[in-house]
């Protein structure tokens, strides 16, 4: 049985400037209000409200039986979530920072992801693992990783990442309502920019991609923070006469082939953009998948514009590591556009 999800805001409800942090906070509050089986916990998510304040005020409002601070033990956080889910709860846990999730990797991969298959469908796992991820905030070591390739390589997990406040609200509500485990990646650099928004809001279904800018010459495939970068590249490219289409993948696993194929077959060229390193990165899967399904429509190889194949750099070097609009356009210039 899935939890109830809010209907869209009534017509006439005034929109206000809303950040992704505030939208996520509202989504958690609404889920806690509507479903007593929802619980929220993790390191510092209680009275402090989380290091990014996503859980601000929730412990005071719902009490420490519904929202509480966990020990500094990520494997224990996910392990207890698995146990609670087996007994009918809907835990939403926070990993605080991306690289902090690695101690929980074994619990996620060996148990959370496999429980439904292991029990022949008898036991569902309605667990959401929230992970603030990627760079752009000047984090030190272990505070700015892009771990999406690890999670998306694991069958049994749904892996999603919003790029806007509206998607953050809608997708988190849908993730909490899911009977299967969801890795919910929150791009840290997008926590604070605001969008005019009337909550509650429902956007496209969680496991679908969305065309956020239409174009005819090339398709940029981006997600999380890189959607903004891709849109910047599209604007710059437009000044040079290049008509760029941008797709926000939103759901990294499952992958929305239909939306991507339709765009690629229209433009005949594609590039995927992500902050994680290139080698065996998520973009490799996207490039292979797009090529396999659209080979005879492509005019050029699918490109990847990514972070470099290094450990995530120190804050002073971060700007050189992250993909930029200029790097995207430089990559597109490597194609033979006369082909």
Q: Are residues 239 and 158 in the same domain?
A: no
On whether residue 1 sits in a domain, the answer given is no
Q: What is the pLDDT of residue 8?
A: 66
Task: Give CA separation, 207 vs 136, 174, 178, in Å.
Answer: 25, 10, 11
3-state SS string for the chain:
CCCCCCCCCCCCCCCEEEEHHHHHHHHHHHHHHHCCCEEEEECCCCCCCCCCCCCCCHHHHHCCCCEEECCCCHHHHHHHHHHHHHCCCEEEEECCCHHHHHHHHHHHHHHHCCHHHHCCCCCCCCCEEEEEECCCCCCCCCCCCCCHHHHHCCCCCEEECCCCHHHHHHHHHHHHHCCCCEEEEEEHHHCCCEEEECCCCCCCCCCCCEEEECCCCEEEEECCCHHHHHHHHHHHHHHCCCCEEEEECCEEECCCHHHHHHHHHHHCCEEEEEEEECCCCHHHHHHHHHHHHHHHHCCCCCEEEEECCCCCCCHHHHHHHCCCHHHHHHHHCCCCCCC
Q: Are residues 313 and 261 in the same domain?
A: yes
Q: What is the pLDDT of residue 239?
A: 96
Q: Are residues 26 and 90 in the same domain?
A: yes
Q: From the first residue on, what is the mean pLDDT of each consecutive set of 10 residues in the chain (339 residues)?
A: 55 87 98 98 96 96 97 96 97 94 96 96 97 87 90 98 97 98 97 95 96 98 98 97 98 98 98 97 98 98 97 90 96 90
Q: Are residues 317 and 261 in the same domain?
A: yes
On whether residue 105 sits in a domain, the answer given is yes
Q: What is the pLDDT of residue 2?
A: 45
Q: Are residues 164 and 44 in the same domain?
A: yes
Q: What is the pLDDT of residue 1?
A: 40
Contact 106, 114 (CB under 8 A): no
Q: Is 143 a catalytic residue?
A: yes
Q: How many domains does the chain have?
A: 2
Given 4, 111, 142, 143, the catalytic residue:
143
Q: Are residues 171 and 42 in the same domain?
A: yes
Q: What is the pLDDT of residue 32?
A: 98
Among the three residues 174, 197, 220, which one is the final residue of a domain in this structure?
A: 197
Q: What is the pLDDT of residue 10?
A: 65
Q: Are residues 171 and 289 in the same domain?
A: no
Q: Are residues 187 and 241 in the same domain?
A: no
Structural domain including 70 reads: 16-197
On whether residue 275 sits in a domain, the answer given is yes
């Amino acid at each position: 049985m899935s939890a109830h999800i809010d209907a869209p805001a009534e017509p006439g409800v005034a929109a206000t400037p809303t950040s992704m942090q505030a939208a996520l906070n509202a989504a958690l509050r609404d889920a806690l209000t509507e479903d007593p089986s929802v619980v929220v916990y993790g390191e510092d998510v209680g009275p402090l409200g989380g290091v990014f304040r996503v859980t601000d005020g929730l412990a005071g409002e719902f009490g420490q039986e519904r929202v509480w601070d966990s020990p500094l033990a990520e494997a224990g956080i996910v392990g207890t979530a698995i146990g609670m889910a087996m007994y009918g709860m809907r835990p939403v846990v926070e990993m605080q920072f991306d690289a902090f999730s690695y101690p929980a990797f074994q619990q996620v991969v060996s148990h959370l992801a496999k429980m439904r298959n292991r029990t022949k469908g008898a036991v569902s796992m309605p667990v959401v693992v929230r992970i603030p991820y990627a760079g752009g905030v000047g984090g030190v070591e272990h505070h700015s990783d892009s771990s999406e390739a690890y999670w998306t390589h694991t069958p049994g997990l749904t892996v999603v990442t919003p790029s806007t406040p509206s998607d953050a609200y809608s997708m988190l509500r849908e993730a909490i309502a899911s009977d299967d485990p969801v890795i919910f990646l929150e791009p840290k650099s997008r926590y604070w920019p605001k969008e005019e928004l009337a909550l509650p809001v429902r956007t496209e279904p969680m496991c679908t991609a969305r065309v956020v800018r239409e174009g005819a010459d090339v398709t940029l495939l981006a997600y999380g923070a890189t959607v903004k970068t891709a849109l910047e590249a599209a604007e710059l490219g437009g000044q040079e006469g290049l008509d760029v289409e941008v797709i926000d993948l939103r759901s990294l696993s499952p992958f929305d082939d239909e939306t991507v194929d339709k765009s690629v077959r229209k433009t005949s060229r594609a590039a995927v953009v992500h902050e994680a390193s290139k080698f065996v990165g998520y973009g490799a899967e996207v490039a292979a998948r797009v090529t396999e399904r659209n080979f005879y429509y492509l005019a050029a190889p699918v490109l990847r514009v990514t972070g470099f194949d290094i450990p995530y750099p120190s804050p002073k070097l971060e700007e050189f590591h992250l993909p930029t609009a200029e790097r995207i356009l430089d990559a597109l210039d490597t194609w033979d556009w006369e082909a």
